[in-house]
Amino acid sequence: MDTLFKTSSEQSQRGAIVGVGVDIESVDRFRKLPYTRNVLFYKKVFSPKEIRYCRSKKESAMYFAVRFAAKEAAIKAVGRKVKNLCEFAVGRDTGGKPTLGMEGLPHLAFHVSLAHTREYAIAVVIAYSK
């Protein structure tokens, strides 16, 4: 809860919330879609950096699924169509906390929270003006 309060405080200092989005994905869908046989799909959705990061993990499907959920949640939060899912980049800050950035919308910033089990991945995104 401490993180939530801190996030709300940071948000109020930075600008107004412009949208909130949430998405849930099945991890199994990504298990059934191996990278080596579905490169086109992964390149359409994930940046090279995201692909490298997820593929470096033993259970890469969980990492891909939660990032996909984050991008879908971000689209809902922003409330507009995007030309390329790679416009949204999920990363980590120096403390390991997930981050989300979007090309083409420099006036917006995001708070993102990710969670996954072996079965499901979920993401919540809050978009706010800088």
Query: Which residues make up the interface to other proteins (CB under 8 A)?
Result: 25, 29, 33, 38, 40-41, 44-45, 68, 72, 81-85
Residue closer to other proteins by CB (options 33, 115) is 33
- Considering the complex, what minimum distance in angstroms separates the CB of residue 121 from other proteins? 12
Residue closer to other proteins by CB (options 30, 128) is 30
Angle between helices 60-78 and 48-55 (to 10 degrees): 140
Residue closer to other proteins by CB (options 14, 41) is 41
**123 CB contacts (<8 Å, ≥6 apart)?**
22, 23, 66, 69, 70, 72, 73, 112, 113, 114, 115
